[in-house]
Amino acid sequence: IPILRTLANSLTSDKVTRILGVLNGTSKFMMTKMVDEGWSYEDALKTAQELGYAESDPTNDVEGYDAAYKAVILSQFGFGATIDFDDVSHKGITNISTDDVAVAQELGYVIKLVGDVREVESGISAEVSPTFLPKNHPLASVNDVMNAVFVESIGIGESMYYGPGAGQRPTATSVLADIIRIARRLSDGNVGKPFNEFRRDLPLANPADVKSNYYFALDTPDEKGKILHLSEIFNSEDISFEQVLQQKANGTTARIVVITHAMSKTQLKAVTEKLEAAEDFTVVNTLKVLSN
């Protein structure tokens, strides 16, 4: 995707506030095949490797490392920030179940591995995680091996850059463009200028400032008072529910799905610890939700 030169040139006069990206072709391809066509994880990975999408160690793709490296680069080009790979919290697609996918569908979302770099009051935050995207969000329709970067900025507003995220010809085209650029600089005699000249001091954001909605899938014994207990736990951390769904309980176990209103990373950590300590709840999954 021609995003880096776009950020360095066309958006140089703008102030970027958030970059959301579907940044990994392999996991995109795999999720599309698994969700839309019912392929197994193993078959989807094998085909992604055969098509030349996956890195030689596919862990980088499916565990979110590749997308996290790209989030580091986007934070430099979009925000002038110098952050380390270790500053990007990353989670891959390996823990997404068909139940998560089905509930997302029922509630009007699709799940994609999304890189999210944003500037909040206290600094910059960068993370990669499987995310519930509202079906009407432009990133929700990015499928197969396509990738996209959605930029929110003060000047332009919203813009999206879209193209194949992996594969022989797209990769070769990008690499060759870099080589041509280097050759031009050699012939112009201006070698040594950095590709990206945007640099500023931007600390890492305080987790209390980084807010998102979240999806929780929880299992609990099918007994009275569980929803009340769940409400007490969330209420004790000042977290408000946006949607609550209890799937048909089977007399033994009930699956409860909660989508919260916006809450901070600090609240997320605290409520997760309380849920894990509570004997009557098992946290099956927690995923970020992009609000409408």
Catalytic residue among 33, 70, 226, 288: 70
Among 4, 54, 117, 290, binds ligand HSE (CB under 6 A): 54
Among 14, 43, 55, 280, binds ligand HSE (CB under 6 A): 55
For 159-192, letters b (16+ CB in 10 Å) and e give bebbbbbbeeebeeeeeeeeeeeeeeeeeeeeee
Burial degree of 279 (CB within 10 A; 0-12, 13-18, 19+): exposed
**Total residues at the site for ligand HSE (CB under 6 A)?**
10
Query: Shortest approach of ligand HSE to residue 87 CB, angstroms?
Result: 20
Beta pairing partners, 155 = none
Tokens of 119: 């500037």
Tokens of 12: 């140089």
Backbone angles phi, psi at 35, to 5 degrees: -80, -50
Query: Shortest approach of ligand HSE to residue 65 CB, angstroms?
Result: 10
Q: Is 66 one of the binding residues for ligand HSE (CB under 6 A)?
A: yes
Is 135 among the residues known to form the active site?
no
Tokens of 164: 């194949």
Query: Shortest approach of ligand HSE to residue 6 CB, angstroms?
Result: 17
Restricting to residues 126-165, name those near ligand HSE by CB under 6 A: 165
Query: Shortest approach of ligand HSE to residue 25 CB, angstroms?
Result: 3
Among 19, 22, 53, 125, binds ligand HSE (CB under 6 A): 53
For ligand HSE, the closer of residues 66 and 127 by Cβ is 66
Query: Shortest approach of ligand HSE to residue 204 CB, angstroms?
Result: 25
205 secondary structure, DSSP code: P
Restricting to residues 167-186, name those near ligand HSE by CB under 6 A: none
What is the pattern of x (binds ligand HSE, CB under 6 A) and - over residues 10-49?
--------------xxx-----------------------
Place of tokens 């999206």: 160
For ligand HSE, the closer of residues 103 and 128 by Cβ is 128
Alpha helices in the chain (DSSP H): 4-5, 25-37, 41-50, 59-62, 65-79, 98-107, 168-188, 226-236, 265-277
Place of tokens 């969000």: 137
Q: Mind telling me the catalytic residues?
A: 70
> Could you list the residues that contact ligand HSE (CB under 6 A)?
24-26, 53-55, 61, 66, 165-166
